[in-house]
Amino acid sequence: MKCPFCGDENTQVVDTRENDDGDTVRRRRRCAACDKRFTTYERVELQLPQVVKKNGSRTDYQRDKLKASMMLALRKRPVTTESIDGALDRIEEKLVQSAEREVASDRIGELVMRELKKLDKIAYIRFASVYRNFEDVDAFSDVIREVQKPRRRPAET
């Protein structure tokens, strides 16, 4: 690790600490040449696949963009930020576990719909109405029936 002050490559670690979540390591270093101290952080870098859009173009995966579309569907719904972040984490985990270098945007949309269905039925329907681009009321009604709980019939006496 080069010293940011003098550029010398001879630095040594003085102190190492993990953050509370255990996903970041903080290291205090000292430069042997100029004796100044500085801090470095070490994090795991996940390799997320490229997103292949419907038109065939490719783009980098963007968590913020995905979160924004989920937030739009969840607008004014009683879902915590922690729940949304958890859903995004699960989506990213599935993408990393797939070990694919590219993933179709449709696949990501399906993962989002699966997570929204668990979080909030209304948000799921909102997202599905845009994502699936319904052509008629029947297709929309099918999605609503999909999330409705079956009604219990009164017991015959």
Q: What is the mean pLDDT of residues 17-25?
A: 81
Contacts of 124 (CB under 8 A, 6+ apart): 73, 113, 116, 117, 143, 147
Identity (one letter) of the amino acid at 57?
S
Residue 47 near residue 98 (C-beta atoms within 8 A):
no
- Give the pLDDT score at 136: 65
| pTM to 2 decimal places | 0.61
Strands 58-59 and 37-43: unpaired
Alpha carbons 105 and 41: distance in angstroms, whole number: 32
Q: What is the pLDDT of residues 37-79, one digit of tens each?
A: 999 988 777 788 999 998 999 999 999 999 999 999 999 999 9
